[in-house]
A and B are shown apart, each in its own frame.
Chain A
Amino acid sequence: NAGVTQTPKFRILKIGQSMTLQCTQDMNHNYMYWYRQDPGMGLKLIYYSVGAGITDKGEVPNGYNVSRSTTEDFPLRLELAAPSQTSVYFCASSQFFSGSYEQYFGPGTRLTVT
């Protein structure tokens, strides 16, 4: 199993451009998440999904959109990129089982908006 994969690894965007961060998991997990991590700030939840076709906002959803058409994929869309969206983005997945909420993380996408 590859686990959670993310593409691209790095990206530089100009202000106002748009892009999609890709996330795929091969563990058949129902739950998927997008986080952003700023230096010294921990992980902030952007959006999450409890299954295909179901998404909901997290703590910092403004400026982002998501969709979940399949169990495996959970892309994150940035529209009209702003410097405040410069961050490291992590995708994660989990499957609640016997009380475990373990989330499996991808390697991250480093995004710079200039």
Chain B
Amino acid sequence: QKEVEQDPGPLSVPEGAIVSLNCTYSNSAFQYFMWYRQYSRKGPELLMYTYSSGNKEDGRFTAQVDKSSKYISLFIRDSQPSDSATYLCAMSGGNQGGKLIFGQGTELSVKP
């Protein structure tokens, strides 16, 4: 079993839709949870960062962490064509070296 599981999609939605992206994980030591966005042929960039459980909101983006279920989500409200990208979840247990474990990434396409 992989430490982090993420549905690779692809996911196609119409502009304005609410998008839900999810990851599950097996390592209960994970405490730091991140979502990275990667545009085609570019390097990933940090989108959202959450420590431990709870919600975090930033504009149209909301990140949720449920440690009891080992499940994290990213919601995108009022999705835009510019949101079309691959979204990668990443996690860390706070180990030395700041190593992150990444999910496979979900490819999202928002159609005008």
* B88 in complex: contacting residue of A4, A42, A58, A92, CB < 8 Å: A42
The one of A40, A43, A48, A107 that contacts B102, using a Cβ cutoff of 8 Å: A43
A99–B34 CA distance with the chains assembled, in angstroms: 12
Closest Cβ neighbor of A98 among chain B residues: B51
Q: A105 to B44, alpha carbons, bound, how many Å?
A: 6
Which residues of the other chain, B, contact A107 by a CB distance below 8 angstroms?
A: 42-43
A sample of 30 cross-chain residue pairs with beta-carbon separation below 8 angstroms, ordered by A number, consists of: A4-B43, A31-B98, A40-B8, A42-B6, A42-B102, A42-B103, A42-B105, A43-B44, A43-B88, A43-B102, A45-B99, A48-B97, A50-B96, A56-B97, A58-B99, A90-B43, A90-B44, A100-B49, A101-B32, A101-B92, A102-B34, A102-B46, A102-B49, A103-B46, A105-B43, A105-B44, A105-B45, A107-B43, A108-B42, A108-B43
Interface size on B, residues (CB 8 A): 23
User: CA separation between A102 and B98, bound complex, in Å?
Assistant: 9
State which residues 43-76 of B face A: CB under 8 Å. 43-46, 49, 51
Is A12 positioned at the interface, with any CB of B under 8 Å from its CB? no
Inside 8 A of B8's CB, which chain A residues have their CB?
Answer: 40
Residues of A participating in the B interface, judged by any CB pair closer than 8 Å: 4, 31, 33, 40-43, 45, 48, 50, 56, 58, 90, 92, 94, 96, 99-103, 105-108
Q: A42–B43 contact, CB under 8 A?
A: no
When distances are taken between beta carbons in the complex, the residues of chain A under 8 Å from B51 are 99
Q: Does B104 contact A (CB under 8 A)?
A: yes
Report the separation of the CA atoms of residues A40 and B107 in the bound assembly, to the nearest whole angstrom.
9
Residue of A nearest to B88 (CB): A42
Question: Among the listed A41, A56, A101, A108, which residue makes an inter-chain contact with B100, where contact means beta carbons less than 8 Å apart?
Answer: A101
User: Which A residue sits closest to B6, measured CB to CB?
Assistant: A42
Cβ–Cβ < 8 Å partners of A4 in chain B: 43
Known contacts A42-B6, A42-B104, A45-B100; 18 additional CB pairs below 8 A are A31-B97, A40-B104, A42-B88, A42-B102, A43-B44, A43-B102, A45-B99, A58-B99, A92-B43, A94-B98, A96-B98, A99-B32, A100-B49, A101-B34, A102-B46, A102-B49, A103-B46, A106-B43
